[in-house]
Structure 1
Amino acid sequence: MEIKSIKLRFMRMSLLHPFKTSVGTLTDKDFILVEVKSKNGLSGWGETVSDPIPIYHEETVKTNWHLLKDILIPKLMNTEIQHPDDVSKAFKDLRGNYNAKAALDGAIWDLYAKEKGISLAKAIGGVKDRIEVGVSVGIQKSEKELLQKIEGFVTKGYKRIKVKIMPGWDINILKAIRKEFPRIPLMADANCAYTIDDIPYLKKLDDFDLMMVEQPFAYDDLIDHARLQKELNTPICLDESIHTVEDVRKAIEITSGKIINLKIGRVGGITESLKIHKLCTENNIPMWCGGMLEAGIGRAHNIAITSLANFTLPGDTAPSSHYWREDIITPEVTMKDGYIEVPTTPGIGFEPNHEKIEDFMLYSETFHNHN
């Protein structure tokens, strides 16, 4: 694989609806599109998922740009790439910055699959021809508004409903949901909103027949989650705490949780995702793919990773129209009866819509390989 150039595009898209969690509210999505062009004329695409400020993890969109421009792209240009795994090997001595790494990793995987003439799903060992779709519901202005939204999503056929919770918006809200929808697959996502002192209170979650409670404690914690899991029948799902396959190994060893939410951007790319998938499979740990309000490129990568066998729970990869008036891919991601079809055409299976990309782009920079 010979790289000719890499282009970064700083993008801004407005969400259809504000998305509120325990850590903040987003109305616009800033991100970076990464296009890696090979000397044979093909392009591979990746997308960053960091926020403008470090409320999810320590990376931001602008630190992603710095890392990509000043460190990762120059290093990649001087690396011989026979296989996408060579990208993570090239970056192994660079600590953290998983999201910036993942964007380049994803673009190389897309390019690799296109050069092989196969879909990204097939290139990584995917086995499904369609994936189940869940939906994430942010914190609403009122209980009534939340119940109305859930009713709409149930009617549309979503296979699982995830609701955001935080102190003051938790037990009573779940009680209201269960009264209205006693049998829907339901989970609660805390986004690190609680502490070890809340264990007696969180035990009330067992009353609601939840699929799981996601990341109740700190973003860097494994130990307190293990203490909570001993007290809960409800499975804990780890999200923010998981960045590497080593994090997963330690979590399994001390039973910090029983389910893993995998986000490609959070773990540094597809190569590390495959290692995590293998370890979870060997230890019978169910997985699902989380969402970071991705535009079309990132959404396409999520569809491919969810085609792996051990992604047994519905993820957050909702259709394009759930988030955007217009997406930046053709065709847009669509859902039928709660399922999204896994593309079979080469690479991510969706074509970048260059006209829309130009509409949403604030600025760009191109880096040429002179080797």
Structure 2
Amino acid sequence: MKVERVELRRIGLPLVGVFRTSFGVERDRDILLVRVEAGGVEGWGECVALPRPVYSSEYLDGAVEVIRRFLLPAVRSLPQHRAHAVEPVFAKVKGHPMAKAALQTALLDAELRAAGTSFAGYLGGVREAVPAGVSVGIMDSIGELLDAVDGFVEQGYQRIKLKIEPGWDVEPVRAVRERFGDILLQVDANTAYTLADARHLARLDPFDLLLLEQPLPEDDLRGHAELARRVRTPICLDESITSAKSAADAIAMGATSVVNIKPGRVGGYLEARRVHDVCAAHGVPVWCGGMLESGIGRAANVALAALPNFTLPGDTSASDRYYARDVTEPFVLENGQVRVPDGPGIGVLPDPDVLAEVTTSVIRL
């Protein structure tokens, strides 16, 4: 397969409501889509980097620059532009896994469309639909939080994840548990605490949470291992897991007993599958995290979540959780699940009219 054209397209999608985490407040999404043309087919990928380097060191403008100046020339240097083949040349560019993931996903999508193979089938998916969880941001009041959770429970989401930070943790969790009983409930701290907060975080133990996600900074594996000894709630790592090797190291240290896999964070879906395999080999369950993706990124995530060791509901929400109108046909919630696309590649394409309306810039190469 030889790539003939590449398009870097920025789009702006307004969120249906304000989404607040310890990283800040989001009211709309600035998204980079990568489109490749090769052999009469097109492939799409989505870059999940944020406009500012707050979740990781990556940010959208930097991702555009890295793709243009370094990753595309690396692809052009290869005799065949296949998704597996780009990994060794991408490795020569330090960091920037989200930029790498976006371009590699577009290449893989085109490759699979040409072969008539679905993303889920290629990765090794075993499910036609995956259980859907939903992430609930930090609210202005517990009453507002309870109203939001009530709506998601009524819609049929199988798991609720609450974002927490110092000052918004024990009491919101207590209120949700008391109001909604034995629903599957977990919390996500996005690195907002330190090991000095261990005694406070142990106050979450009585609420029978599925997991406590990334409580400490991403580089503090020893701290997570020590915290795991001090609390009963299972520790799950997110930002700390950047590769299959880092997952193996974290498991060996006792720093995690559950892993959140985000393909953009680990450099793409091929590495995400390796993380899945490492965790499966060690008996560590995984689930698919989300970055408020459009239908392009969501389609690939849902396919990944169909793999056998994804035994916990992920952030594979329906499209209307975040967007009144998506760029693809919307993903919908059916009996608490989202169907896995079974068409070639990621199984979806953007609507040209909607895409034109939400596009803010295009670079054609």
Where does residue 150 of structure 1 map in the other structure?
A: 149
Matches within 5 A, 1:152-231: 152-231=151-230
Q: How far is 1:105 from its partner?
A: 1.1
Q: How far is 1:83 from its partner?
A: 4.1
2:38 corresponds to 1:32 = no
How far apart are the structure 2 equivalents of 1:268 and 1:260?
A: 16
RMSD: 1.0
Where does residue 304 of structure 1 map in the other structure?
A: 303
Contact 1:88 1:271 in 2 (8 A): no
SS of 1:141 mapped into structure 2: coil
Where does residue 113 of structure 1 map in the other structure?
A: 112
Q: How far is 1:82 from its partner?
A: 6.5
Residue identity (%): 41
Where does residue 331 of structure 2 map in the other structure?
A: 333
Letter in 2 for 1:357: L
Where does residue 85 of structure 1 map in the other structure?
A: 84
Contact 1:162 1:186 in 2 (8 A): yes
Contact 1:215 1:238 in 2 (8 A): yes
Where does residue 16 of structure 1 map in the other structure?
A: 16
How far apart are the structure 1 equivalents of 2:12 and 2:219?
A: 29
Letter in 1 for 2:219: D
SS of 2:154 mapped into structure 1: helix
How many aligned positions are there?
Answer: 365
Q: How far is 1:3 from its partner?
A: 0.9
Letter in 1 for 2:8: L
Contact 2:31 2:47 in 1 (8 A): yes
Contact 1:81 1:87 in 2 (8 A): no
Letter in 2 for 1:8: L
SS of 1:352 mapped into structure 2: coil
The more displaced of 255-264 and 80-89 is 80-89
Where does residue 235 of structure 1 map in the other structure?
A: 234
The more displaced of 170-179 and 79-88 is 79-88
Contact 1:262 1:288 in 2 (8 A): yes
Matches within 5 A, 1:246-261: 246-261=245-260
Where does residue 103 of structure 2 map in the other structure?
A: 104
2:347 corresponds to 1:349 = yes
Deviations 1:189-210 (Å, cap 9, x if unpaired)?
Answer: 1111100111111111111000
Where does residue 3 of structure 1 map in the other structure?
A: 3
How far apart are the structure 2 equivalents of 1:241 and 1:175?
A: 27
Q: How far is 1:346 from its partner?
A: 0.7
Contact 1:12 1:362 in 2 (8 A): yes
Matches within 5 A, 1:258-269: 258-269=257-268
SS of 2:80 mapped into structure 1: coil
Listed as ranges, the gaps of 5+ residues in structure 2 are: none
Contact 1:164 1:189 in 2 (8 A): yes
TM-score (norm 1): 0.97
SS of 1:310 mapped into structure 2: coil
Q: Indicate which of 356, 362, 366 corresponds to 2:364.
A: 366
Contact 1:189 1:215 in 2 (8 A): yes
TM-score (norm 2): 0.98
Listed as ranges, the gaps of 5+ residues in structure 1 are: none
